[in-house]
Amino acid sequence: MKTSTKKLKLTEDDNFQPMLFSAISLFPEMFNAVSEYGVVGRAVKNEIVNIDCINPRDFTKDRHRTVDDRPYGGGPGMLMKVEPLQRAIQAAKKSQQARDSVLSSDSDSSPGSAKVIYLSPQGKKLDHQLVKELSTQQHLILLCGRYEGIDQRLIDQQVDMEISLGDFVLSGGELAAMVLIDAVARLLPEVLGHSVSAIEDSFEDGLLDHPHYTRPESYEGLDVPPVLLSGDHQAIEKWRLQQRLGRSWLKRPDLLEKKKLSESEQQLLAEFKKDYKAK
Ligand code: 4GX
């Protein structure tokens, strides 16, 4: 008889640990938007991803549970106080250490390696490369600022990395943290179905995606490109690659400049440009 080769599901492995996101936020309920819906919601339910919310207000020591204070030097608005944030970060670090200590000590999941990330417009711009790097971490602590921001000394002392979604101002770091969680979680191999990994590959090789079509075959006089109905898989792949090259050329020339095109890719793009200019 054949010996059992039953493959263990990754999450059944004794050494498997969900990736932990600790969100430090005055509005923890906001995180239900990621933890209860869609792909990430399922990953949370299946314990592939853990999202812990820590409210700095729970780490205040005064009667009024004060988390904000006026800025030195004057000016409008309030800042987040250092001490409650500092204690919340320590609590987040402790929760990961508690998880580590019950596991057979593993070299990769070295305790105390949690990265503290502050979401702010001063940060490094989030992109696919950075998302990939973050997805290799066991524990990310996401510091979500409200009011006009946080005391600079906490940033200098406690923050490992500042990350920005882009050059615009949000009214708090929570939405940015949720964007980060969503993008990172869906890159974890246990979260991604093969269907999703294919989509990710498009940014993986630095090109935009090709267009997609579903039924009906004709909608308001607009037909699905015939090649997609041909059943010729080679022709379909070639068309899709050409569309990806062409769309990148039209909409994101910066992406194309960074990319080294093969001989056949250059030819596909040249053909796309010719057709485009003929129209
Ligand atoms: N990409 N914000 C942080 C708090 C704040 C206020 C003033 C410093 C000074 C943002 C972004 C973002 C808004 C998060 C301000 N910090 N986060 N928050 N863009 O705009 O990530």
List, for residues 104-145, the tens digit of each pLDDT value. Answer: 554 444 556 899 999 999 999 999 999 999 999 999 999 999
First to last CA, the chain: 66
The closest-lying atom of ligand 1 relative to the alpha carbon of residue 168 is 19
Q: What one-character-per-residue DSSP string does 97-148 give? A: HHHHHTSPP-STT-TT-PEEEEEEEEEEEP-HHHHHHHTT-SEEEEE---TT
Determine the distance separating the centroid of ligand 1 and the alpha carbon of 202, expressed in angstroms: 29
Determine the distance separating the centroid of ligand 1 and the alpha carbon of 161, expressed in angstroms: 14
Determine the distance separating the centroid of ligand 1 and the alpha carbon of 81, expressed in angstroms: 16
- pLDDT at residue number 36: 98
Closest CA to 180 of 68, 5, 31: 31
Integer Cα distance of 201 and 207 in angstroms: 9
User: Percent of the chain having pLDDT more than 90?
Assistant: 82
Cα 86 to Cα 24, 56, 81, 143: the distances in Å are 10, 9, 9, 10
Q: Which pTM value belongs to this model? A: 0.92
- pLDDT at residue number 107: 44
Q: What is the mean pLDDT of residues 241-268?
A: 97
- pLDDT at residue number 8: 64
Residue among 28, 84, 186, 244 flagged as catalytic: 186
Determine the distance separating the centroid of ligand 1 and the alpha carbon of 173, expressed in angstroms: 6
Ligand 1 pocket, Cβ-based, cut-off 6 angstroms: 119-121, 145, 148-149, 164-166, 168-170, 172-173, 176
Instruction: Mark whether 148 is an active-site residue.
Output: yes
For residue 1, pLDDT over 90 is answered with no
Pocket-testing residue among 68, 162, 169, 178, ligand 1, by greatest number of atoms within 8 A of Cβ: 169
Q: What is the mean pLDDT of residues 205-232?
A: 97
Instruction: Mark whether 121 is an active-site residue.
Output: yes
- pLDDT at residue number 193: 72
For residue 194, pLDDT over 70 is answered with no
User: Which residue is listed with tokens 């041909």?
Assistant: 230
Pocket-testing residue among 67, 118, 142, 170, ligand 1, by greatest number of atoms within 8 A of Cβ: 170
Residue 203 banded pLDDT, cuts 50, 70, 90: confident
For residue 38, pLDDT over 80 is answered with yes
- pLDDT at residue number 223: 98
The closest-lying atom of ligand 1 relative to the alpha carbon of residue 173 is 14
Lowest-pLDDT choice from 94-98, 181-185, 274-278: 94-98
Residues 6+ apart with CB under 8 A from 58: 88
Residue 6 banded pLDDT, cuts 50, 70, 90: low
> By three-state DSSP, how is residue 24 classified?
strand
Integer Cα distance of 207 and 151 in angstroms: 40
Lowest-pLDDT choice from 4-13, 66-75, 167-176: 4-13
- pLDDT at residue number 197: 66
For residue 190, pLDDT over 50 is answered with yes
Residue 279 banded pLDDT, cuts 50, 70, 90: confident
Task: Name the residue with the closest Cα to ligand 1, atom 14.
Answer: 173
Task: Name the residue with the closest Cα to ligand 1, atom 16.
Answer: 149
What is the chain's mean pLDDT, rounded?
92
